[in-house]
Structure 1
Amino acid sequence: MTAVKATEQINTHTGVRYATGIGFDFHSPDPKFVMTYDLNNQPLSYFESDWWDYAAYSPNASGNYKCWFKKDTASLDEFSQTLLLEHKLIVAAFQFNIFSPFQETPSASQIKNASRVLHKIRKICIDTKNKISSTLSNPLKLKPIIKQLTTHDQKTLKSLLMTLASANSSNFIAHFNIGETLPLFKFSKKENFQHPVIPSRILFEKLLSYQEVLDDYFKFEKEIAQVNSLSLLCHSYLTEQTYDYDVPSGVKKSGRGFQKIIFEFGLFDLAKKYNIISPINLSNFLGKVQYCSMMLIVAYTGMRRSEALSLKYDCMSIKKRKYGRIRHIIGITTKLTKTRFETSWVTCSQVVPALKAAQSVCKLIANSLYISDENLNSFPLFISRAYLTLSVVNSRTGKRDIGDYKVGALQPRKFEESMRQVLITQEDLEELTEVAPFQDWNLDGLYSIGENWPITVHQLRRSLAVYAAKSGLVRHSSLRRQLKHLSVEMSLYYARGSSRVRSIFNPSPDHIIHEFSKEKLAELDSILYIRDVLMRYEDVHGGHAEVLKTQGLYAGTAITLSDKKKTMDDFKKGKKAWRPTFLGGCTSIDGCKTVAHPTLTKCIVGSGCNEAAILPEKVDTAISMQNKLISVLDVTSIEYRSEVAQLEDLMRIKEEISE
């Protein structure tokens, strides 16, 4: 396959081109096969390259995302060259995701981590004189290597092996014997925890604490901007030694120029509350403002941390509706497609102060870089504070392109220690146990009574999913769109425990839930139904097929505009419904009675469901995915027998609809 042909085999969704691997030959790889592209959609890395750069596929389209295979120029012996080729082929298989039983495409950071772990294994293989493939497929060889890896690297390697589930010597370089190697990976209960739902009281307390920081910032926003401007003009004025100023009674004079600035600009109350005694402390406070803004945006949108950090200065869109304004945050995700894809998250008015605070700090940093306000729209919203003259290390090194600036890390571990603590009570612990009764919340004392709640960004995301599902106003398909999941099943996993969690909803007219109401989604559901069912050229099967026959609607029947309008009207009036499923769709108006226990075959077991619409192409896909899943399970396990039973149901329905 030539380089030109490789370039044609790409995913051309909006965003950067992504090599899909179509036409890639794992037994005889083309050295010129394009592995990655740059932001201009030009080939960046080829299979023969010493490194593959995935930066363009990260949410920020920047940073070090290079997978190095060979850094030195020294020639390799024949065995080392074999290991190098294996390293590249396994990374390529991980990137293309064609041997995996799961649909989700790995992110840029996941690919880099997988390559990094393979690099460690490759070094061990050089010493042991074993191939990487034979090492990863042999439990006796793999077990001692696993013991040398950190827990994080073990999880990375396990995920990598699972993506090679259906690989074998005919379609790849080896069969990886997953059934025997995966049991070698054993993690403690703590490491298998799902991110907890934040108890309702603690959630509100945390959100209030973040808002408190923003309120304090807004009180002194003008004065802080003046200090920032002064720092640009004469930074030494902020740091010089001087006693030529007055202090209030009871306040000790430090002799530092910055104490003088605090009193000159009326920042004493802010400095006292947040211990601001130097320009660096003020810069740290601005970082705290950024962090609190990000946490509130995540809480009210369900974004991932990387998606929040990808936001630009001008990232809000407002649409007018009869019940008020609906706000969307525009950002970048890499989850719904294999590219950096612009998308939006519906949100509410509570996010506006957080966005304004982040924009205000962003403008301060832009001023330090002499960037005018009219050029701010595409500027990173959470740009790093390293560019401030107030910071200990100023990174202003001349003019750059807007996209070259780094964003702040904004990690909870850096900022939560100085936030107002929210201590766990007995009632909070009881609520935790109600949501997840089978988890040991006393493990390691992290969630003990009297301890500060150990918040993470992902907890906010899962809490939104659970509380939204609890409200009864947000359907799983809507939750999937909001959380940018590839499947409804992942959203169901996030929302586990929603039936037991306490409701927090008493919505105002402009609240987020209105975007998810039945009335607003009816039109979308009707469009999907018309496309997937009424306009098909192949027959629909299942219980709903009989309904279509009574209406005279057969495969290939011409659908008029009036038919479409009537269908849409029936959906809006609640007379019809459509929810996509693994095997087709559900037409139940009242909702699926077995939704609390979702399985692949819930629509077809026994005599089947009268309201199920079975689509043959989805059955074929489900069978393929089920076979891949079964291939990685322990044949002696209950899960294996359960999944085999589902596969048998799928094969039965395939035979029935093929007759």
Structure 2
Amino acid sequence: MLQNFEATNNFKEVEYAITYPFNDTVISYDSEGKIQSIFSDMVWNFSSQVSQINRRKTVNFNFIKNDDKEIQNNLIYEAKIIAYGLLYAYTGSNSNKINQLLDDYSRIRYVIEAASKMNATLSNLHLNEELFKLIVTGVAEKSRQQIKLMLSFFKKISSFSNIYVNHNFTLSANQFNKLNSLLNSKLIEVSNQHLVIPTRLYSHIYNQSEIIFDEYLLHCNAIEAFAKKRSKVIEEVNGKIYYRSKNFKYNHKNEVKKFELLAKKYNLLTKIDVLHYLNRLSDIALSRILMFTGMRAGEIFNAPENCLIELKQNDRDIYILNSYTNKETNNGPMKATWITCSAVKKAINVLKNINKITSYDSSFKRENSSEFPLFLGRSDKLNSALYNFPLKARVRLDEAFEYFNFDFIVNKNDLDELKLTATESELEYYNVQLGRGFPINTHQFRRTLTVYAARSTLVQTPALKAQLKHLTRDMTYYYGNQSEFAPNFIAEETLVQTYKNEIHKYNNECFLEDVINTTEPLFGASGIRLQNSKNDPIVPMFLTDSKTALKDIKNGKLFYKRTALGGCNRKGVCDKISPLSVTACISCNDAIFSDRSVKALTVAKENFYKQIKLFDEDSHFALQLHAEIVAIDKVLNKRNIFCEANNA
């Protein structure tokens, strides 16, 4: 364990817990840097490191019970060293190690409770087939994803045998094979992407929310005065918070006169009605920020009240939104910035005013030295590591849109747009039908922003990488020429997956046009192979059905990319062609040429003839261009011969 020493110029030897942790090994710290949890504690508290509002913040070992106290104590110790290993020892992931532990907590509970039922310990599980059978029996009822996570969990804790010399949580090869077989026996679950919000509905959300913001800001002072008058007296007695109403007689009809139109429109009959209206209004304000940042809802909840910064650069207004993210950090939330626009200003002003009203009934009083959240909650308990104030806990967009009478009925144009970005199964999964309401959730705004940004071609890859916050280096490949060949990493369903699917769909559309639907014979090395397959009495499904081709492209069975000369089915990055040569492409085993290629090759040959006149006949450039022309003539002649034979 690392000890604290005063600063000195002398080196001092420090002992570390290189195998087992000690009872006083530090597990977590509080917001002031003081020790919060140590290894011997039965509850490990990570509340100062976890910024997500609704996230588990503790690891509790009190669930472990057994009549045999020795077995119980051994199981508690095993659960703790597994948790400690996931937190500090396992290095197979660059993700947040605290989140990794919290995610695996349910699996720790499951295997430890199984061991307790057998009156056994988990160590040397590879020798205890009865315990393993009990674990597998329970896992077999779970989904494929849960089985996959359990298999991953065992792979992690198997590595602990390198550091825990007296404990071995490794499965035997046969046990691993049984888990793998169980995994493979489950059908692969189809992952349905979040739907892109059609442009008409996207515009409707913006325009309708503008009206809602304007009508509130017109009456906000009157609503604030009403709320202040109706606020409760807050008292703290023996550490407990008590709220009591002021000893006033209220005349609601007179008090709402200054915002009477709003009160009638939304049926604001009591203070509770007003607070409900404000809560739904804050959800609409959050949707506006979602629209113009691509942030996660949790990242918006983390934002401070003074989050929006306006800058002037080259006579242009630049808007930056500051908040916190905990993605890919090992030390809890860190500050981050998002580029946005003036469209979020009104929403933030609305939220600031709602904060004033909320603070009248809050036991947490605002101090100048404290950073204030953009979404102040009404709880009397803290729920975030970032602020000394409670935060709003959740958003209900569907209820907010219904409260303010947003019209999300799908028309024919909406449905036609949706079919461009969603599969039939996805539309069926979300029950999208003509004349019925369109489903909306927070993550759809992230996907929608990305899809529209991608199609605009105005947003460059580095800007998107910075904006999305969760991108790994591999994810940037999604935006390049070879993005469809990015490594198959495990990640949450995010915006980047949208780009990958868009590229797959584009490549499939090109394959449909260039290969499946072409009436002219294909040529080129791979082109001839495909043409022979098309001519076969039994044609492969991917050469007749676009959906099958798309599925094969997504699964990595089929590769197709349109090139300047035609197409290519090479898997991976091309390392053959050079900027001054098309010969390598023409003679490549992966080349697929169609009638579109004939035009491209003819134009290329004409350009080479023009260029060759600019150089001496014996120059390297002239010789290279001549070789290119000969190669083009050769492939076009072969194509003509092939066409004649094919039509014979």
TM-score using structure 2 length = 0.62
| 2:84 counterpart of 1:98 | no
Query: Paired residue for 2:336?
Result: 343
Aligned residues: 471
Aligned to 2:108: 118
Residue of 446, 456, 461 corresponding to 1:476: 461
CA distance in 2: counterparts of 1:480 and 1:239, whole angstroms? 56
The amino acid across from 1:347 in the alignment is T
Deviations 1:68-115 (A, max 9, x none): 112799997232233323322333344348353x5332564x643431
Q: What is the match of residue 429 of structure 1?
A: 415
* Residues 500 and 168 of structure 1: CA distance in aligned 2, closer, same or farther (over 3 Å): closer
* Whole-Å separation in 2 of the counterparts to 1:408 and 1:79: 40
Work out the CA distance in 1 between the residues paired with 2:452 and 2:293.
Answer: 13
Q: Any gaps of 5 or more consecutive residues in structure 1?
A: 9-21, 242-256, 387-394, 503-591, 612-659
1:323 is displaced (CA, Å) by 4.3
Cα 1:97–1:120 shift into 2, 3 Å:
same
1:378-393 counterparts in 2 under 5 A? 378-386=371-379
Query: Does residue 1:175 correspond to 2:173, yes or no?
Result: no
Matches of 1:498 and 1:6, distance apart in 2: 55
Question: In the alignment, does 2:350 pair up with 1:357?
Answer: yes
Q: Deviations over 1:17-68 (max 9, x none)?
A: xxxxx9765x633333322222122332222221221211222689861111
Query: 1:87 — aligned with what?
Result: 79
Take 1:28 and 1:6, find their aligned partners in 2: how far apart are those partners? 23
State the alpha-carbon separation in 2 of the partners of residues 303 and 272 from structure 1.
35
- Deviation by residue 1:583-636 (Cα, 9 ceiling, x = unmatched): xxxxxxxxx99xx9999x945x7669899xxxxxxxxxxxxxxxxxxxxxxxxx
- Once the two structures are superposed, the pairs formed by residues 186-225 of structure 1 within 5 Å of their partners are 192-225=191-224
Answer yes or no: is 1:411 the counterpart of 2:396: yes
Decide whether aligned partners of structure 1 residues 236 and 334 sit closer, same or farther in structure 2, where only a CA change above 3 A counts: closer
Equivalent residue number for residue 522 of structure 1: none
Question: How far, CA to CA, are the matches of 1:292 and 1:304 in structure 2?
Answer: 15
Distance in 2 between residues matched to 1:7 and 1:447, nearest whole Å? 65
CA contact (8 A) 1:436 1:497 kept: no
Larger radius of gyration: 2
Conserved 8 A contact 1:318-1:327 = yes
Q: Which amino acid aligns with 1:480?
A: K
CA contact (8 A) 2:37 2:43 kept: yes
Correspondence 1:247-646 to 2 at 5 A: 257-262=251-256, 264-265=257-258, 267-339=259-331, 340-369=333-362, 375=368, 378-386=371-379, 395=380, 403-412=388-397, 414-419=399-404, 420-437=406-423, 439-443=425-429, 446-490=431-475, 492-498=496-502, 602-603=572-573
Letter in structure 2 aligned against 1:281: D
- 1:312, CA displacement in angstroms? 1.3
Tell me the distance in 2 between the aligned counterparts of 1:610 and 1:167.
48
Change (3 A) 1:478 1:291: same
RMSD (Å), alpha carbons: 4.5
Q: CA deviation at 1:498?
A: 4.3
2:349 maps to a residue whose letter is K
Distance 1:500 1:292, change over 3 A: farther
- Contact 2:325–2:336, Cα closer than 8 Å, also in 1: yes
SS of 2:48 mapped into structure 1: helix
Q: Deviations over 1:549-570 (max 9, x none)?
A: xxxxxxxxxxxxxxxxxxxxxx
Change (3 A) 1:405 1:113: same
Deviation of the 1:441 alpha carbon: 1.9
1:90–1:442: structure 2 CA closer, same or farther, 3 Å change rule?
Answer: same
Give the 3 Å change call, closer, same or farther, for CA 330–434 of structure 1 in structure 2.
Answer: same
- Secondary structure in structure 2 of the residue aligned to 1:328: strand
Please list every run of 5 or more consecutive structure 2 residues that lacks an aligned counterpart in the other structure.
8-14, 234-243, 476-494, 507-562, 581-648
User: More displaced, 302-311 or 123-132?
Assistant: 123-132
Distance of 1:46 and 1:346 partners within structure 2? 41
- Whether 1:33 aligns to 2:32 is no
In structure 1, distance between residues paired with 2:342 and 2:292: 9
Task: Give, in angstroms, the shift of residue 225 of structure 1.
Answer: 1.0
| Aligned partner letter, 1:174 | F
Alpha-carbon distance between aligned partners in 2 of 1:289 and 1:105, rounded to the nearest angstrom:
33
After superposition, what is the alpha-carbon deviation per residue over 1:524-551, rounded to whole angstroms, capped at 9, x for unaligned? xxxxxxxxxxxxxxxxxxxxxxxxxxxx
Distance 1:380 1:608 in 2: 55
Following the alignment from structure 1 to structure 2, what is the Cα–Cα distance between the partners of residues 188 and 305?
32
Q: Which amino acid aligns with 2:38?
A: Y
**CA shift for structure 1 position 300:** 1.1
**Cα distance, 1:117–1:598 mapped onto 2, change above 3 Å:** farther
**Match status 1:127 vs 2:121:** no
Cα distance change, pair 82–285 in 1 and its aligned pair in 2 (3 A)? same
Amino acid across the alignment from 1:115 = Y
Alpha-carbon contact 2:328-2:470 (below 8 Å) kept:
yes
Residues 153, 86 of structure 1: alpha-carbon distance in 2 compared, 3 angstrom cutoff: farther
Q: Which amino acid aligns with 1:457?
A: T
> The residue matched to 1:319 in structure 2 has which SS?
strand
Which AA in structure 2 matches 1:54?
F
Deviation at 1:409, TM superposition (A): 2.1
CA 29–168 in structure 1, closer or farther in 2 if over 3 Å, else same: closer
CA shift, 1:476, in A, is 2.8
Q: Is residue 238–residue 279 contact of structure 1 (8 Å, CA) maintained in 2? A: no
TM-score, normalised by the number of residues in structure 1: 0.61
Measure how far apart 1:3 and its partner are: 4.7
Contact 1:297 1:354 in 2 (8 A): yes
Q: Deviations over 1:366-395 (max 9, x none)?
A: 344498887387112111145xxxxxxxx5
- 1:441 & 1:316 partners in 2: Cα distance? 37
Contact 1:99–1:165, Cα closer than 8 Å, also in 2: no
Higher RCO, Cα 8 Å, sep 6+ = 1
How many angstroms apart in 2 are the aligned matches of 1:196 and 1:597? 31
